[in-house]
């Protein structure tokens, strides 16, 4: 049994808290919202974000971040990516050497272009930074549906500790040393999922969705490799796996926001209707900036940015994507004859 603090009481933080509680760990969940903590403590259920998922009686809920950090073997960073920096600054004076901080937020900071693990590492010193990511909607994990995910760390022992702590009969965890690749896959897939949702909103079909997923993973892979990540990671759970589920699932907030925009709503109107943080919107500008920095062609990511920030219509951007110059799918393959 481990003492674990989960920072963030959104749907993903609560779902992971249920996994950890099921595995017999001592779990404390922190939220800044007093009414949320009161509801969770009294009703043992997040009535708005995970209705129907009953929470173990031993899980402690608190607004005191010190209570969720001090003395904990593992700290799970489950706040939205836009709050990772401020939360890391809060815990930096509280953590001690030997503690493990696990990032489960998916994003890239817009101003610094740092993936979440590198952002945390720049603020929180003398701890082991890790990541947990993959195709894992909170709505299904909370209901104990079979899910597979990957734990990444520079240290094998840390990744295996996370694997041991989280893994059970419905939550299977693999390990990987490619922290960068895991983080990029989890962040960039949200941008592609916005595009998939936009196509759904326009009334496009399965052919379009398959094209966006396939060409989208090509953009993610090219950028990740240019930045030093491994191709195998992008092909795995935190890349292709997470991209498929986020582009196709009814639970996906990024797909839903994109779909609303495809139906003609503005970005503001779409995010207000989704009523949750749409991570892809915050990662889109950073993804475009990274593609320019590393000289990687990312037409889908560019198109999403045009819809979000340049007032271009979804239909116009889709038409431009379809009518780009003719290309070979795999430029490194050799022809037998010219």
Q: Which of 106, 189, 209, 285 is catalytic?
A: 189
Check if 189 is active-site: yes
**CA–CA distance, 29 with 69 (Å, rounded to integer):** 10
CA distances from 297 to 222, 226, 292, 302, 337 (A): 8, 11, 8, 9, 28
List, as one string, the DSSP characters of 200-227: HHHT--HHHHHHHHHHHHHHHHHHHHHT
Are the CB atoms for 223 and 290 separated by under 8 Å?
A: yes
Which of 108, 96, 85, 103 is CA-nearest to residue 154? 103
Determine the 3-state secondary structure of 108 from DSSP. Answer: strand
The conformation of residue 111, written as its DSSP 8-state character, comes to T
Q: Are strands 74-77 and 128-133 parallel, antiparallel or unpaired?
A: unpaired
Catalytic residues: 189
């Amino acid at each position: 049994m481990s003492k674990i603090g989960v920072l963030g009481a959104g749907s993903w933080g609560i779902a992971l808290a249920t996994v950890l509680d099921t595995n017999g760990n001592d779990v404390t969940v922190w939220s800044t919202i007093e009414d949320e903590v009161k509801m969770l403590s009294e009703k043992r259920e997040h009535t708005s974000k995970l209705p129907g998922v009953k929470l173990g009686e031993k899980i402690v809920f608190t607004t005191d971040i010190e209570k969720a950090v001090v003395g904990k073997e593992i700290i799970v960073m489950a706040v939205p990516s836009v709050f990772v920096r401020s939360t890391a600054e809060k815990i930096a004076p509280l953590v001690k050497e030997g503690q493990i901080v696990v990032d489960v937020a998916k994003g890239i900071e817009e101003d610094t272009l740092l993936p979440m693990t590198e952002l945390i590492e720049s603020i929180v010193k003398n701890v082991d930074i890790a990541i947990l990511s993959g195709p894992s909607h909170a709505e299904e994990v909370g209901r104990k549906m079979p899910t597979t995910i990957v734990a990444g760390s520079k240290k094998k022992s840390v990744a295996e500790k996370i694997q041991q702590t989280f893994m059970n009969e419905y939550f299977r965890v693999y390990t990987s040393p490619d922290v960068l690749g895991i983080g990029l896959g989890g962040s960039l897939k949200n941008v592609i999922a916005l595009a998939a949702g936009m196509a759904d909103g326009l009334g496009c079909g399965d052919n379009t969705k398959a094209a966006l997923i396939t060409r989208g993973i090509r953009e993610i892979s090219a950028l990740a490799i240019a930045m030093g990540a491994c191709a195998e990671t992008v092909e795995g759970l935190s890349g292709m796996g997470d991209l498929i589920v986020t582009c196709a699932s009814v639970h996906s907030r990024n797909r839903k926001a994109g779909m609303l925009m495809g139906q003609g709503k503005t970005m503001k109107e779409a995010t207000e209707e989704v009523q949750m943080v749409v991570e892809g919107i915050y990662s889109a500008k950073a993804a475009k900036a990274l593609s320019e920095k590393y000289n990687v062609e990312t037409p889908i990511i560019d198109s999403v940015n045009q819809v979000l920030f340049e007032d271009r219509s979804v239909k116009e951007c889709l038409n431009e994507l379809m009518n780009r110059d003719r290309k070979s799918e795999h430029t490194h393959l050799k022809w037998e004859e010219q």
